[in-house]
Amino acid sequence: MTPMGDRHAPAVSLPARTVASPVGALTLVADQGRLVAVLWPDDRAGRVRLPPLYDHPTEPVLAEAAIQLAAYFAGRRRHFDLPLAFYGTPFQRRVWLALQTIPYGETRSYAAIAAQIDSAAAVRAVGAANGRNPLSIVVPCHRVIGSGGRLTGFAGGLTAKQYLLSFESGMPALPFG
């Protein structure tokens, strides 16, 4: 994954593609050949700020993201290799880059991520940045949990978070929904 940083969200419409997954329909969004968002069916308005989207299922990075997500959900892929662009503040981008270091099947606490980015006192800010991660699943914000192993908020909902964590840990994941 090659993240591109220090950019602001584009002002034009962006190509998008919706794909089916075990956790619901996911909308993939691209900008200039890079994946910029993986959105949930009931994503909270404003969580990820994007210009209008238009359907473009053959956009190369969206087609590749769909292939890699299908392989992930089939248990054949543990890492994503996609060109990414992060649209957010410098602090948010630091958090999102740290999320990419959490190995498949493992979890980290918000405090651990805060310490990793040399902002140990910014646990709440890490939580807020985690909640605004525009690249769900690909940038694994679902692997971040509260202290003591407690499941906390997730853009896709706690049921989806539990499904993804169970799936990655090799435990039978209950049917989603």
Catalytic residue list: 141
Which residue matches tokens 């769900």? 136
Record the tokens describing residue 71, joined without a space.
């392989």
* Residues 113, 130: Cα–Cα separation, whole Å: 10
* DSSP secondary structure letters along 22-77: TT--EEEEEETTEEEEEE-TTPPTTSS----EEE-TT-HHHHHHHHHHHHHHTTS-
